[in-house]
Amino acid sequence: MRHRRATLAALVAAAILCVPLPSTAAGAPAGKASAAREQAVAGKQVAAGAKRAAAQQRALRRAKQPVRARPSARAKKLARAKKPAGARALARAKKRARARIPARAFPRSRAKAPARRFPLAPPSNKPNIVFVLTDDLSWDLVDYMPNVKRLQREGVTFSNYIVTNSLCCPSRASILTGRYPHNTGIYRNTGDDGGFLAFRARGQERDTFATSLQQAGYRTALMGKYMNQYNPTRVRDALGRPYVPPGWTDWKVVGNGYPGYGYRIAREGRVVRRGWEPRDYLTTVLRRDAIGFISSAVGAGQPFMLELSTFTPHTPSTPAPRDVGRFSAVTAPRTPSFNEEDISDKPSWLRGHRRLTDEQQQRIDEHFRNRVRSVQSVDRAIGRIRRELNRLGVARNTYVVFSSDNGFHMGQHRLTPGKLTAYDPDIRVPLVVTGPGVPAGRVVSEIAENVDLCPTFTELGGTPAPATADGRSLVPFLRGLPAPADWRRAALIEHRGAVTSPADPDFPARGSGNPPTYEALRTRDSLYVEYADGEREFYDRRVDPDELDNVYDALPEARRERLTAAVAAMKTCTGVGCRVASRLGAESPLP
């Protein structure tokens, strides 16, 4: 009986621990001596197996316990001092016993799982959009931005992309809504006809590319600058949180971010104040937030639209710490219009400017160097974002768009640094697009405008543009197609009155130019400016690309009349009617 129990125990131990049983001849009865030996061997095996099983159970229990912080040497010393000698000896014995447990006793599940490279949710079929919008960036800075140059090599460059107004807020209103200033009612940065407060009061926030894309299932984000007058500490919603306009899923917007430091940013429903340390540099903070947003959207399998809106390179053009002191040999471009020799043919608001002194030119050069330094952080952000898109596997389904709200003059026509004019440095800015299906290295010379961005973004997202949009989609050019037969022949620029408020961040410095109200038409070959006081300018850009010689007085009367009629049609057009007006009577020669 005891022999059968021992044999049964050995079988159980062998089944559990995979221990081989001692072999006997098949069917041969075991003798008493043999039975005793088998019983002894089986007993030892059972005991050993039980011991190993107990050790494994203890190891499993320890593996399931939470990991505790390792005590410091001082804590260990204090703990030993409190224990009696017997307890310390017992602890040492337990430690030695644990050390003898083989490593294979611990479960493999304790190993850290490799990080996932691909999103948990299935990716969306809709393309993503990353829109990098800079502040006051002119074409002369692009040569110092290697990542933007790479965008040009890999995508489409619009060489005649014109803004509707060379002030920040009116231009941004046109970008968001696809409407001209005479339809948004936003002509300035402040006052009843300008700034965020007027934009909201006029109901313009209800129909933007953000609202359209969000309704189409996009996760949307605005990071950086929204509009002049927006301050997250002063503009609150009903719950006391920073106000977020319709259409935005993620909102990390700054009020006064021009210095690059010491700003307040709306973040997760509260206002966060940043300091003056290198880690607080605004463009770097926005770049990190942008990458975090992209990673989150991709992880959720949701298409995204990100607008990264920098304050750079707007005055004071603060560079990142790593860029201070760089480009010390760079000077502002000395184009033919720089410190123009003869301005007797210019309008009265400009004719009184004297030629720039050597000291003024040196200050212009230093300002230009700071502008070059400051855009390095933007250029690096573009490179880092594109690398993140590649890492996440969504680069081939993402459009990257680079542009500016307006340009900036630096010495042209005797003007010290500033904007506000209808001249080329102020109103013609970069627009570069790369993404799926976009032909590499293409340059589009047709007239494009910032009112075209809203319908372009919505078409890329597979949703209609707001019915009130005056602009047209640029998608045909992104597909490599020729210009539509009815494409515009002129862009409209609208400026209302001189800037008079010192609180306006674009309040012009002495000598930078502060023109009165005007409307202007810009074609590929000409610039026509019509001032409210009756003065006129016309430049034939085919022979005078620097806009040196105002030849309006030499134009035939019939052509002057056509120009006046074209401006009258453009400055009152709405929606589809703007397409007709911008053709300038296609059956007749250009005005």
Q: What is the set of active-site residues?
A: 168
Alpha-carbon distances of 333 from 317, 353, 365, rounded to whole Å: 18, 20, 9
| Residue 554: count of CB within 10 angstroms of its CB | 9
Place of tokens 């009986």: 1
SS3 130: strand
The SS3 assignment for 409 reads strand
CA atoms within 13 A on the CB side of 175: 26
Tell me how far apart the 2 most distant CA atoms of the chain are, in Å.
134
Cis peptide before 313, with omega less than 30 degrees from 0? Answer: yes
Could you tell me the two tokens for 3?
């022999």
Q: Give the C-alpha separation, 202 to 214, whole Å.
A: 21
Whose tokens are 């494009």? That residue is 448
DSSP-assigned beta bridge partners for residue 400: 130, 434
Strand partners, 449: 162
Cα dihedral 286, 408, 325, 379 in deg (nearest 10): 40
Contact yes or no for 183/173 (Cβ under 8 A)? no
Selection from 529, 523, 588, 539 nearest residue 564 by Cα: 529
Contact 162, 522 (CB under 8 A): yes
Contacts of 564 (CB under 8 A, 6+ apart): 530
How far apart, in whole angstroms, are the C-alpha atoms of residue 484 and residue 132?
27
Q: What is the DSSP string of 522-583?
A: E-SSEEEEEETTS-EEEEETTT-TT-----GGGS-HHHHHHHHHHHHHHTT--TTHHHHHTT
DSSP code at position 242? B
Contacts of 76 (CB under 8 A, 6+ apart): none
262: left (phi over 0), alpha (psi -120 to 50) or beta: left
CA-wise closest residue to 6 among 50, 36, 49: 36
Tokens of 379: 């250029």
Cα gap 402→404, rounded to integer Å: 7
CB 32 within 8 A of CB 39: no
Query: Tell me, what amino acid is at 80?
Result: R
**Spatial distance between the Cα atoms of 400 and 151, rounded to a whole number of angstroms:** 8
Give the strands of the sheet with 270-273, arranged side by side. Answer: 270-273, 264-267, 250-254, 219-225, 304-309, 128-134, 398-404, 431-434, 156-158, 442-444
Distance CA 26, CA 348 (A): 121
Residues paired with residue 434 on neighbouring β-strands, in sequence order: 400
Residue type at 396 in one-letter notation = R
Q: Where are the alpha helices (DSSP H) in 144-243?
A: 146-154, 168-177, 181-184, 195-201, 209-215
